[in-house]
Structure 1
């Protein structure tokens, strides 16, 4: 039924700024598309997954209405520190959820909560 995650969409007040921040952090190109209304949808591709930033809409797509996506990492502490140094804020964890498996959540400068998971 499900194969793999292809796209993760988050809602942001400034989609292009959000995508550019992630693009610079991860050294990947940013792509944008301007819709008929002039709204910008922007995205980066990370590990074969499109991470998209759609304009926030309080009625249909409120900020914070997105799921938390966990990215697999080799070293939770090292990646967490890099994200904090780049402007993220602590949200939750790090927590050991089972032996050999840890998670942490951070909030990027644009309000999106992301998760990291690894040994």
Structure 2
């Protein structure tokens, strides 16, 4: 049935700006598609997963309707510091959720909550 995560979609006020921030942070290309209506869908790919940004729409795709995506990292503290230096703000944690495993959440400069999960 499920074979793995292919795409994580985030509803954002500015999809292209969101994708460009992640593209710069992760040093990966940004893809942008503009529909006939002018709506922008933008994305980056990392680790075989598409991180896509779709326009927020209060009726169909409200802000806050997105899941928190947790990225696997080797060192939660080091990556947290890197993200803070890149413009993120503290949201939650770091928390120890089991021996040898910690998580933290940060808010990126465009308002999306992201998680990191590792040692």
Task: Report the TM-score when normalising by structure 2.
Answer: 0.98
Post-superposition Cα deviations, 1:93-117, rounded to whole Å, max 9, x if no partner, equal 0000000010000011111101000
C-alpha RMSD over aligned residues? 0.6
Post-superposition Cα deviations, 1:59-114, rounded to whole Å, max 9, x if no partner, equal 11011110011100000000000000000010000000000010000011111101
* Divergent runs of 4+, >4 A: none
Does the residue aligned with 2:63 lie in a helix, a strand or coil?
coil
- 1:46 maps to 46
CA distance in 1, matches of 2:8, 2:57: 17
CA distance in 1, matches of 2:3, 2:105: 25
Unmatched 5+ stretches in structure 1: none
Q: Is the counterpart of residue 104 in structure 1 residue 98 in structure 2? A: no
Task: Report deviation, 1:4.
Answer: 0.8
- The total of aligned residue pairs comes to 119
Task: Report deviation, 1:118.
Answer: 0.3
CA distance in 1, matches of 2:82, 2:88: 9
CA distance in 2, matches of 1:2, 1:91: 30
Post-superposition Cα deviations, 1:22-65, rounded to whole Å, max 9, x if no partner, equal 00011000000001110110000011000000001011101111
